[in-house]
Structure 1
């Protein structure tokens, strides 16, 4: 069953004929399956996703459609003839995608950028300026806007290395170099919630999962403090996974890094699940994924295994922990005025 169209896709539907070109490339933060319609009307077109959750939904029953997941899109047999970019939440991620995808386009190809007005779409002309001489607003409706330009500027080859930012995390006796691609959680500094978690780590052994690993900060600290653990890092964001691999490698640490939509790709038999889960999806507050993660944790854990979770203090997570682990199976082990750290066993 098709998902209801988001306001952004409803805007695109008004101009659907614009995108009926061979080898259309679609990318960015998409909240529905409207790109499938565009793929079906344009031969040899591609939908490039950095969100594994969305990729799993769309790749199932793709019926020959070219839907790809990753942090970097490999060049095709021929250049794509146009690019439709759904504006990501982070401006830096939009810049990253444009920098890597425009070299894969044919000269003169149209480039469209679409998004919600609350998400910064009205600055799309500035995003397009390095690639298009005269970007313009093509359409607007439902508090969304569509911008269009033409690839008529020289495009530099994409250099992935140049897009990794770095900072040093000082941990007292030790330090870590954290490297991250744009838009990744913990890309610029250690957040307050993760610091609370790392300051109150229990003893760890066996298989340990850093779920929603972001740039790999938590996982790297775990492996540095407990080198004998079997570390696993999972995330739905391809840019986060690339960042986590980079963070581990540059610090000489080992861990298995893989995509997972919640626990979708996580084998059972974990001793510890450690997470600082997000509660935003795009521009909206979103709790369901974390609630499901808490409810399903016991089936992934060995007997005596535990879940260590840090969350904003206002979030009502105790009922879910009680449902999953029982009334006496969880506790608050640390808190600040903004965060609470829960341990459930």
Structure 2
């Protein structure tokens, strides 16, 4: 988006909501934004407006939400405010985005590389074998085999997956993404999913943090696990055809991050890998699986570039190099090195 001539609306929130209408956002999306932004507006100190608010005002607002709403909702509200400021800055109505620093600080509240529980592959293999529910095993295996974030997993649609299997291809129209046309047995992770935004006909409740699209190989083991899940996956009313949907509460509805965290916690507790009050260094969570993937695949491949590409870490030279040489540099390295979760065979067997 290019910067337009400066504007100075008397009601910045109203201006932003009106522009959302022009951009084709749904009424539900507009109402969600306006509810959050008006709440922020009312929170600000006297004689402070959204235009003059500082990063400390924004930080205080985000802090005021904690204890009142769920942490996932806090993140959603912060994302709405960040997007509002980003847009108003881009059109010249505001001088800057005070939420940028706040969002960076929120990301830093989770230690990026704490001292974590050291789980060897054989122990993780036993953990996975103890998960027999097809949905739960598919979720855990996908996280462990791809290193994707929990929100990215929740945002996967049927169109983001290719599996070369006649039985599954007869049930679903898989892999309709153009980026998957010549990449069989793969998962596509989009950078375009944002909380409150419509994607593929459905308003999303989780965001993908990737700045660039990533195509992740699906090995035979993960393909088998996903096939078992897809064989019993409930029908859904969503036009987006989510890959993972509920089988208990929220039957047929897109799985949400909190549900994934609950599933992982359930099995981790049973294994002795999760304790109430335990920190990131002790508890096994979906984010721990990303750490596990990074550590073991990096050690096995010896190629930090491939691992960075698969994780979706932002670096244009990394992304471009491995995108253009995907078959040779990504799939071959991945399939030669990725650990087994259901048996002890070497990756190439």
State the TM-score, normalized to the length of structure 1. 0.28
The structure with the largest helix share of the pair is 2
Q: Could you say which structure has the greater relative contact order, defined with CA pairs below 8 angstroms and 6 or more residues apart?
A: 2
The structure with the largest strand share of the pair is 1
